[in-house]
Structure 1
Amino acid sequence: MSIQAQIRLFFFCLIGFPQLLAAQRPPVSEQAVEQWGRYEITLAGPTAGNPFADVWLTAEFSSGKKKVNVSGFYDGEGVYKIRFMPEATGQWSYQTRSNAKALNGTKGSFTCRAPSATNHGPVKVREMYHFQYADGKPYYPFGTTAYAWTHQPEPLQVQTLNTLKSSPFNKIRMCVFPKTYSYVEEEPALFAYEAKNRTRLANGKLKYEWDFTRFNPAFFRHLEKRITDLAKLNIEADLIIFHPYDKGRWGFDSMGMKNDLFYIKYLVARLSAYQNVWWSMANEFDFVKSKPREAWDVYSKAVVDADPYHHLCSIHNGTEYFDNWKPYFTHVSIQNGSTVEDFGRAVLLRDAYRKPVVYDEVCYEGNLPQRWGRLSPEEMTEAFWQGVIAGTYVTHGETYRTPGDTIFWAEGGRFHGQSPARIGFLRKLVEEEPGPLQLADPWKDYQTAQADSAHYLIYFGKQMPSEWVFSLPKKGTPPTGAVFKAELIDTWNMTISPVSGTFRLGEAKDYRVYDETYQKIRLPAKPYLAIRLTQVK
């Protein structure tokens, strides 16, 4: 063989033969993803300059007539990502758009298959005042609070997850940015931004100068890992985007509107494809003195406009309420302990806003000297009952200062209180009902809730009546002659005792329907009792 022929053969083996094999190789089908799962595109792109600010990246996903535009983000070290949560099964295709040539025009497709048995999708609003998963399964928020748990040492974060795993809570309020406040002073290992400069002050604390145009992807990857960990426990991550607990230590509460909006865009691009994310614009928005009230409209609109999946969104107050009726907000997040201290209060805000109401801060069970941190376990438990009976929802928090241990409300860790078990008992009762509870007669009867005309729950709270005359609000009751059975519930001792006999509805009198023989149920002399009524078919 001549030298020329050998050279030609060499180049064919080096270049042509692999190309021939590639041409004969069948196309690689991209991995399927579940409905409401997370499909991720990873691309290599430019690293020069500031990729966070200089490069934009989007993709249009389409399936039939459905089209969804999604923003991508820079994940550091030349890696760009786009995340998509398909909300319908079937074949999806996509094409990227970017001002960077290496990222522009990438095409692909994947199959979205039916969700697995435990995948119910993101939580949405149901029937004005309540919630359900995207697949229609009812969702009742029984939440807790651990503001800075993801900023603590790794062993403590793992302990927090283990605590939540065996708890009744299916939602947690948590901050994106770290917090410096009473009982939480630790320096986090990761921050959301790159530091341009760092100096140690006389008090031993570090002072940072940040580049608010350059994010720290490691910080967000860690947050995403924890959101994923919560999803495995069927817990919703109610993410607090801004808060006032910085006090000049890091400056994340006073970055200026331009940097705030840049942060919102990046945060939503990274996290909106996680199905268990909720957006909380702020904790105690009115205490963030660096942001005028009108700025919250700008920020809220920016979050909603950037989120293609329209996750739940709210804003939490300190002493004054925001305009919760505005369209950015899917539900109302309220700090007000008095609303659940007695009958007839919790329902008033629900009626005013005509949206689901979650009393996300009603003070906390604990032993702190501050008035907001010393509810008894009985008071914390009753707050939940008062909220649920009114057709609203309540969030737990625990502030026990225990020697050698953390305060869960601030840092996570372990529970020490007695209310979580009782809250779990209530959650079980609520989930056994055929639908959400709401007051049967919100104009006059603040103790009787119903899921439908066949299921009632009557709560007595601190009252200790010696007997209860069987009667129901006239509106919505079944016809005369319907028969009910009764059970006596001790909400503190978590017991359910059947009441002997049955009760037959008589004629309505003055907006009430009584048992035809005016039967009564004898009650023990103790607080926190309830009665459950179920129609006998």
Structure 2
Amino acid sequence: MLEIDLAGPAEGNPFVDVALSAVFRQGAREIAVDGFYDGAGRYKIRFMPDTAGAWTWETRSNRAELRGRTGRFDAVQAAPGNRGPVSVRNTFHFGYADGSPFWQVGTTSYAWTHQPDALQERTLRTLAMAPFNKLRMAVFPNNDDALAHQRFPFPGKPPHGWDFSRFDVDFFRNLDRRVAQLRALGIEADLILFHPYDKGKWGFDRMPGAVNDRYLRYVVARLAAYRNVWWSMANEFDFLTEKTMDDWDHYFQLVQAADPYGHLRSIHNAFRLYNHTKPWVTHASIQHGAATEDPERAVLYRDVYNKPVVYDEVKYEGDWVKRWGQLTPEEMVLRFWNGAIAGSYVGHSEIYKDPGGEIWLGKGGTLKGQSPPRLAFFRRILAESPHEGLEPIDKWQDHPFAGKHAEYYLGYFNRDKPAAWPFVLFKTGLRDGMKFRAEVIDTWNMTVTPVDGTFEIKRRDDYTFADKDGRSIALPGRPYMAVRIVRVR
């Protein structure tokens, strides 16, 4: 990321009175990028080049002292570990700009950047040791009487004495810093732009339309050049009852137009689903506590939207008083595996009672649950899968496998406790004489056990091929078991 820092006017209200942008050029190619006011007479323009080589830039402004400023720079090849931003790949999946797959294993901590600095740093230390590569996080604070908020997005006096025509630059500098730290950890920052958890305490959930627009443009100008940013228009958008569906369409289109890099965009529901088929939605972000109870249910949303589906909220691991916070660790992990077999993705969080009120879902800190080590194991299995993404093998039948036809199969038996599984594969791409090797995966105890020998298949009926000798794979009669089958050449 290149950051251009310019001196300019400080009088009046620069957030409203001063317009600043720059055009970046490489050969005949031009990319227009908005700048932003960062306080104390300083203006910044951030740019994320996507190709190496020589670039030039020239500013545009309604103020003479900022207009026509020029410069040049050379973009070098990405450093190791920098795979670029994530985008949609192969219709239902994600990949980095360098072509490598992005296997989403996300978590949620809504208000972690609104906590005291020491707690924010502890959250980052936890994330550095955790398996998660995406973090859902809210820009606005939650309504939490136990927390003395030290930063707010607008200057003024709490709870309602805000100057909505200006931004508190210290608040946004902290957000910048935390997004950059997530980037250094290889974690995508899924920024929730609106949410209903203000509940009238500060009024950030019911600002005038013009303020919402100015806020969105400012956030995009500050943060779009970070390669690890995703945009979530809202969490539980349908609880923001003062906003209409036309408003949400408008916010999507505004962010899409303001973001020169085309970062991923979605919106999260409570009871009412947004129409994710709309062209400005890149992927479906869904709350559904039952959809990933089995892969047959989870796959249905792919068929509806024909886009990547991320079940960002499937209830949470914990011991909370509400039913949405009472998943056992086993059930949390099960939902990830069922989502994968459906060719979709799942999100984690936890909400364990804490005498100090510190819960991961709301404030970050330290993880207490047992699912994260199993999700690290799960992510390792995903990373060993075909780069194109896991596709359902036979979604029209109770056949719990995903993978790549005739090459790779990952099967998951959910809560069932089979003592054996007959070696039978769905027909697509198969022919007599093909050979496969197999492994048994214990998804809870995190073990992979090779099965002796190879399996040679022959056609069994109109739909399946089976081991020519009728062999089966022995299983331990426990729940949460999986098998992995790979073609031998």
Which interval holds the TM-score relative to the shorter structure? over 0.9
Normalised to the residue count of structure 2, the TM-score between the two structures is 0.98
Identity %: 51
The one-character-per-residue Cα deviations of 1:490-517 (angstroms, maximum 9, x if unpaired) are: 1111111111221101124120110111
| Counterparts in 2 of 1:446 and 1:257: CA distance versus 1, 3 Å | farther
Letter in 1 for 2:445: N
Look up the SS of the partner of 1:324 in the other structure: coil
2:217 matches 1:265: yes
- The aligned length equals 488
Letter in 1 for 2:310: V
Q: Quick check: 1:441–1:475 contact (8 Å CA) kept in 2?
A: no
Equivalent position to 2:68, from 105, 110, 115: 105
Look up the SS of the partner of 2:233 in the other structure: strand
Instruction: Provide the C-alpha distance between the structure 1 equivalents of 2:319 and 2:407, rounded to a whole number of angstroms.
Output: 42
Equivalent position to 1:157, from 120, 126, 140: 120
Q: Where does residue 187 of structure 1 map in the other structure?
A: 148
The one-character-per-residue Cα deviations of 1:115-140 (angstroms, maximum 9, x if unpaired) are: 11211100010010000001101101
Instruction: Provide the C-alpha distance between the structure 2 equivalents of 1:186 and 1:480, rounded to a whole number of angstroms.
Output: 66
Q: Quick check: 1:57–1:103 contact (8 Å CA) kept in 2?
A: yes
2:406 matches 1:453: yes
Q: Quick check: 1:132–1:138 contact (8 Å CA) kept in 2?
A: yes
Instruction: Provide the C-alpha distance between the structure 2 equivalents of 1:453 and 1:320, rounded to a whole number of angstroms.
Output: 39
Equivalent position to 2:174, from 203, 219, 222: 222
2:322 matches 1:322: no
Equivalent position to 2:374, from 399, 403, 422: 422
Q: Where does residue 144 of structure 1 map in the other structure?
A: 107
Q: Quick check: 1:343–1:446 contact (8 Å CA) kept in 2?
A: no
Equivalent position to 1:354, from 306, 312, 331: 306
Could you tell me how far 1:383 is from its partner in structure 2? Answer: 0.4
2:379 matches 1:379: no
Letter in 2 for 1:301: Q
Equivalent position to 2:230, from 271, 274, 278: 278
The one-character-per-residue Cα deviations of 1:140-187 (angstroms, maximum 9, x if unpaired) are: 110001000000011111110000000000000000000015xx7413
Could you tell me how far 1:403 is from its partner in structure 2? Answer: 2.8
Look up the SS of the partner of 1:214 in the other structure: coil
Could you tell me how far 1:452 is from its partner in structure 2? Answer: 4.6
The one-character-per-residue Cα deviations of 1:75-103 (angstroms, maximum 9, x if unpaired) are: 11000111111111111001101011100
Q: Where does residue 49 of structure 1 map in the other structure?
A: 12
Q: Quick check: 2:405–2:428 contact (8 Å CA) kept in 1?
A: no
Matches within 5 A, 1:458-469: 458-469=411-422
2:35 matches 1:72: yes
Q: Where does residue 85 of structure 1 map in the other structure?
A: 48
**Higher CA-based Rg:** 1
Q: Which moved more, 1:82-91 or 1:503-512?
A: 503-512
The one-character-per-residue Cα deviations of 1:325-378 (angstroms, maximum 9, x if unpaired) are: 111111000000110012301100011100000000000000001011110001
Normalised to the residue count of structure 1, the TM-score between the two structures is 0.89
Q: Where does residue 396 of structure 2 map in the other structure?
A: 443
Matches within 5 A, 1:201-240: 206-240=158-192
Instruction: Provide the C-alpha distance between the structure 1 equivalents of 2:325 and 2:478, rounded to a whole number of angstroms.
Output: 26
Q: Where does residue 3 of structure 1 map in the other structure?
A: none
Look up the SS of the partner of 1:526 in the other structure: coil
Letter in 1 for 2:29: K
Instruction: Provide the C-alpha distance between the structure 2 equivalents of 1:458 and 1:373, rounded to a whole number of angstroms.
Output: 28
Look up the SS of the partner of 1:422 in the other structure: helix
Could you tell me how far 1:263 is from its partner in structure 2? Answer: 0.4
4+ aligned runs moved over 3 Å, structure 1: none
Equivalent position to 2:25, from 62, 75, 87: 62
Q: Where does residue 295 of structure 2 map in the other structure?
A: 343
Could you tell me how far 1:453 is from its partner in structure 2? Answer: 2.3
Could you tell me how far 1:244 is from its partner in structure 2? Answer: 0.2
Look up the SS of the partner of 2:216 in the other structure: helix
2:452 matches 1:489: no
Could you tell me how far 1:405 is from its partner in structure 2? Answer: 5.9
Q: Quick check: 1:445–1:473 contact (8 Å CA) kept in 2?
A: no
Q: Quick check: 2:38–2:44 contact (8 Å CA) kept in 1?
A: yes
Q: Which moved more, 1:391-400 or 1:40-49?
A: 40-49
Look up the SS of the partner of 1:337 in the other structure: coil
2:201 matches 1:249: yes
RMSD across aligned positions (CA):
1.1
Look up the SS of the partner of 1:95 in the other structure: strand
The one-character-per-residue Cα deviations of 1:47-76 (angstroms, maximum 9, x if unpaired) are: 111100000001110001211000011111
Look up the SS of the partner of 2:163 in the other structure: strand
Instruction: Provide the C-alpha distance between the structure 2 equivalents of 1:312 and 1:523, rounded to a whole number of angstroms.
Output: 41
Instruction: Provide the C-alpha distance between the structure 2 equivalents of 1:87 and 1:430, rounded to a whole number of angstroms.
Output: 27
Unpaired runs of 5+ residues, structure 1, are: 1-37, 199-205
Q: Quick check: 2:295–2:339 contact (8 Å CA) kept in 1?
A: no
Instruction: Provide the C-alpha distance between the structure 2 equivalents of 1:129 and 1:136, rounded to a whole number of angstroms.
Output: 15
Letter in 2 for 1:173: R
2:136 matches 1:166: no
Equivalent position to 1:530, from 482, 485, 488: 482
Q: Quick check: 2:386–2:403 contact (8 Å CA) kept in 1?
A: no
Letter in 2 for 1:115: A
Instruction: Provide the C-alpha distance between the structure 2 equivalents of 1:102 and 1:414, rounded to a whole number of angstroms.
Output: 48
Equivalent position to 2:342, from 390, 408, 411: 390
Q: Quick check: 1:390–1:446 contact (8 Å CA) kept in 2?
A: no
Instruction: Provide the C-alpha distance between the structure 2 equivalents of 1:111 and 1:307, rounded to a whole number of angstroms.
Output: 22
Q: Where does residue 471 of structure 1 map in the other structure?
A: 424
Q: Where does residue 129 of structure 1 map in the other structure?
A: 92
Look up the SS of the partner of 1:58 in the other structure: strand
Look up the SS of the partner of 2:245 in the other structure: coil
Q: Quick check: 2:20–2:35 contact (8 Å CA) kept in 1?
A: yes
Look up the SS of the partner of 2:94 in the other structure: strand
